Amino acid sequence: MDERDVLREWRAFFTSQDITPESLEKAETFLNGLSGESPLHLRLANELADLKNLRKAQPKKRTSAAKSK
């Protein structure tokens, strides 16, 4: 798998506007499969950390049950 393939796979985890726990988990699993010595691994690890921080900073979405109360 070359760098272009890795980046295409990486983008596929975050195709929607929402950063979901599932997409973060899939990205982390994928990242763990890459060589830790790769500059691309470091770049994507930093990006994943940023995405996790963004997810934490996002206001919680209210469920329909919570809205009706």
pLDDT tens figures, 4-48: 999 999 998 887 767 888 899 999 999 999 888 889 999 999 999
| Structure-block tokens of residue 8 | 């295409």
pLDDT given for residue 68 in this prediction: 52
pLDDT given for residue 10 in this prediction: 92
| Structure-block tokens of residue 50 | 């940023």
Is the four-CA dihedral 67, 25, 7, 43 of positive or negative sign? positive
- 54 burial (CB, 10 Å; 0-12 / 13-18 / 19+) is exposed
pLDDT of 2 > 60? The answer is yes
pLDDT given for residue 54 in this prediction: 85
- 43 and 6 Cβ atoms separated by less than 8 Å: no
pLDDT of 58 > 60? The answer is yes
* Sequential DSSP letters for 7-37: HHHHHHHT-SSS--HHHHHHHHHHHHTS-TT
pLDDT given for residue 55 in this prediction: 79
